[in-house]
Structure 1
């Protein structure tokens, strides 16, 4: 497992209203937890709520791929680790994994492509230099971690 200190993290607890008829966290709420963890990333790169408003900038999700690996139940303590795999002038390629109650293996993983936008448009916009510098620092810090296990997966059925 990568060093927790090198990763951005988000913590929460599975709430009753997030649980389905099987007693498990509903699939949509896995994505909610990943989305909330993404806010930790925005704060870390200098795009917290106040800065998003002041700069008229935000980040939109272009694509997300979720791997549901193990069911979790109400009351489970959740930890989501956030990694920045790569970036360019306008996009972030991120990877998130969700751990529960000290379990060593993730219960879910999510890979996302995010787009930096000028909210006055809205339209794609390059990151401001200070934000881009922070993104680069995260990419370099996270590059030394082991490759993310569920990144780059493709959905499909094998041809017969």
Structure 2
């Protein structure tokens, strides 16, 4: 049986230095928060800092798409939920949703990010390598709980202007 519920992986408050001249969180800080969330996910699947250091392994982001859906202001508390959409021996395909924790009853995301991560050996050249068996097991277990979820609203989108004919 699967749960299919996204995993809340990270929470924080929007800091004053993250806010721009319009009073909104700057676009770069959405990615920073999503990056912190992926770090938390790495901890969850057994690839925390001490393991990465000892095994000389890491995870690199190959691609990241961000959709900015609603304004986020200073002091707001946000949370990031993650879904593992797919994985293979070396890669993770993630879907992250940022929500305002105290959003007046509405729980629509304020931003989403779809990301592709690659597992690498950091010894000279950062060559891609399969996940170690213990990490691969954690990845498989997480995916098993989430694979039957509804299709993510913003996954698979392409950036581009419509072509006029």
TM-score (norm 1): 0.94
With a CA cutoff of 8 Å and minimum separation of 6, indicate the structure with the bigger relative contact order: 2
Give the corresponding residue for 2:114. 111
Give the corresponding residue for 2:37. 37
Give the corresponding residue for 2:16. 16
Give the corresponding residue for 1:140. 144
**C-alpha deviation, 1:154, in angstroms:** 0.5
1:71-99 CA distances to partner (integer Å, 9 max, x unpaired)?
11000000100111101111000000000
Matches within 5 A, 1:64-83: 64-83=64-83
**C-alpha deviation, 1:5, in angstroms:** 6.4
**C-alpha deviation, 1:4, in angstroms:** 9.4
Contact 2:6 2:81 in 1 (8 A): no
Structure 1 residues 5, 93: CA separation in 2 closer, same or farther (over 3 Å shift)? closer
CA distance in 1 between counterparts of 2:20 and 2:152 reads 29
Higher mean alpha-carbon deviation, 94-103 vs 43-52, is at: 94-103
CA distance in 2 between counterparts of 1:50 and 1:43 reads 10
CA distance in 1 between counterparts of 2:128 and 2:80 reads 27
TM-score (norm 2): 0.92
1:89-118 CA distances to partner (integer Å, 9 max, x unpaired)?
110000000000234100000000000000
Structure 1 residues 17, 64: CA separation in 2 closer, same or farther (over 3 Å shift)? same
What secondary structure, in the 3-state scheme, does the structure 1 residue paired with 2:79 have? strand
What secondary structure, in the 3-state scheme, does the structure 2 residue paired with 1:113 have? strand
Gap regions ≥5 residues in structure 1: none
Structure 1 residues 153, 40: CA separation in 2 closer, same or farther (over 3 Å shift)? same
What secondary structure, in the 3-state scheme, does the structure 2 residue paired with 1:134 have? helix
CA distance in 1 between counterparts of 2:77 and 2:8 reads 17
Gap regions ≥5 residues in structure 2: none
Aligned residues: 158
What secondary structure, in the 3-state scheme, does the structure 2 residue paired with 1:73 have? coil
